[in-house]
C-alpha cells in the first residue's frame, strides 16, 4: 500500500525560471484546453479529500454554490464545515456569470467590509466570519475559475487538510505556483474535473490508476490511487 506523506504545501514560493502566471498568448496545456467551457452544474455539492505524496492533503468541493458553517448532526449541514463557533449556515460562496460573490446569513466581512446581503469576491480577498474565523480567497489560475480557500486563523474542517478547493470547472495540479495545488516536483500538469456526475482526471503524462495504465482521460473511483513518474496521489469521496 503506498504511503502518503504530509508536507507543507509550497504553493506560495516562487521558483527560479518559473513565471508566476501564464504569459499572454501562450498556448494552453493540452490537458486544459479541451475543458475551458466545462462548468459544474448547479447540483448538490460533491466532496472529496485528496492526499498528494510529498505535498499534503486537500479537500475538494465540486459545485457552483458552497455554504460555510459549523458542523451539525442535522441533515441540512453546510457544504464546508469548520470547527469554529459560527452558525451552522453562516455564509455562502456562489459562482455565477463568470463572477464569485458571497452572501451572508450572519456577521461576515470581506477584506474589512461588512456584507449586508451579497458582495463580489476578488482573488486575494479575506473572508472573516463572526470576527474570528479568517479565510483567504484566491483564484490562482487564469485557466480556471475554481477558487482556493486558505486557512488564516486556527479554524479547520474535521479532516486535517492544508486547504480547500472550490471547483466550479476544473482543478489544476502541477509544478507551477499559479496552479490550484502546487506540486513542485511534478513533471507536468494534471487536471481534475467533474463530468456526468463523476470525478475525472486528465493529463498528457502516462499515468496509472490502481496499478493499471490508463488513457488521457479517465474516471476516479472512491479510493483510487493515481501515480506516474514523480507523482502519486489518492482520492476519496466524502459521503
Show the 3-state SS of the chain. Answer: CCCCCCCCCCCCCCCCCCCCCCCCCCCCCHHHHCCCCCCCCCCCCEEEEEEECCCEEEEEEECCEEEEECCCCCCCCCCEECCCCCCCCCEEEEEECCEEEEEECCCEEECCEECCCEEEECCCCEEEECCCEEEEEECCCCCCCCEEEEECCCCCCCCCCCEEEEECCEEEEECCCCCCEECCCCCCCEEEEEECCEEEEEECCCCEECCEECCCEEECCCCEEEEECCEEEEEEEEC
Angle (nearest 5°) at CA 185 between 181 and 189: 55
pLDDT band, residue 73 (cuts 50/70/90): confident
Residue 140 in grid coordinates: 490562482
pLDDT at res. 42:
52
| Burial bucket for residue 14 (CB in 10 Å: 0-12, 13-18, 19+) | exposed
Other CB atoms within 10 Å distance of the CB of residue 142? 12
pLDDT at res. 12:
35
Q: What is the pTM (predicted TM-score) of this model?
A: 0.83
Compute the average pLDDT of residues 140-155. 96
What proportion of the chain, given as a percentage, has pLDDT over 70?
82
pLDDT band, residue 35 (cuts 50/70/90): low
pLDDT band, residue 26 (cuts 50/70/90): very low
Residue 170 in grid coordinates: 476544473
Residue 7 predicted with pLDDT over 80: no
Compute the average pLDDT of residues 63-79. 89
pLDDT band, residue 75 (cuts 50/70/90): low
pLDDT at res. 32:
64
pLDDT at res. 20:
39
CA dist., res. 130 & res. 95, Å (int): 23
CA dist., res. 156 & res. 134, Å (int): 10
**Per residue in 157-214, pLDDT tens?**
988 999 999 999 999 999 999 999 999 999 999 999 998 889 999 999 999 999 999 9
Torsion from C-alpha of 22, 99, 93, 12, nearest 10 degrees:
20
**Per residue in 101-126, pLDDT tens?**
999 999 999 999 999 989 999 999 99
Q: Which domains does the chain have, with CATH numbers?
A: 30-238 (2.60.200.20)
Amino acid at each position: 500500500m503506498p504511503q502518503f506523506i504530509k508536507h507543507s504545501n509550497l504553493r506560495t514560493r516562487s521558483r527560479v525560471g518559473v513565471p508566476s502566471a501564464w504569459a499572454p498568448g501562450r498556448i494552453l496545456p493540452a490537458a486544459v484546453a479541451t475543458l475551458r467551457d466545462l462548468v459544474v452544474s448547479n447540483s448538490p455539492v460533491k466532496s472529496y479529500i485528496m492526499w498528494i505524496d510529498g505535498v499534503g492533503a486537500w479537500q475538494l468541493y465540486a459545485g457552483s454554490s458552497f455554504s460555510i458553517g459549523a458542523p451539525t448532526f442535522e441533515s441540512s449541514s453546510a457544504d464546508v464545515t469548520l470547527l469554529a463557533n459560527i452558525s451552522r449556515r453562516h455564509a455562502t460562496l456562489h459562482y455565477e456569470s463568470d463572477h464569485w460573490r458571497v452572501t451572508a446569513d450572519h456577521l461576515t466581512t470581506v477584506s474589512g467590509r461588512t456584507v449586508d446581503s451579497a458582495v463580489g469576491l476578488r482573488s486575494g480577498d479575506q473572508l472573516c466570519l463572526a470576527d474570528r474565523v479568517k479565510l483567504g480567497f484566491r483564484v490562482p489560475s487564469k485557466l480556471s475559475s475554481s477558487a482556493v480557500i486558505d486557512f488564516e486563523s486556527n479554524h479547520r474542517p474535521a479532516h486535517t487538510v492544508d486547504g480547500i478547493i472550490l471547483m466550479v470547472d476544473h482543478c489544476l495540479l502541477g509544478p507551477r505556483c499559479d496552479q490550484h495545488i502546487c506540486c513542485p516536483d511534478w513533471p507536468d500538469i494534471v487536471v481534475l474535473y467533474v463530468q456526468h456526475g463523476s470525478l475525472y482526471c486528465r493529463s498528457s503524462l502516462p499515468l496509472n490508476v490502481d496499478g493499471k495504465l490508463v488513457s488521457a482521460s479517465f474516471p476516479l473511483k472512491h479510493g483510487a490511487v493515481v501515480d506516474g513518474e514523480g507523482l502519486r496521489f489518492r482520492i476519496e469521496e466524502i459521503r
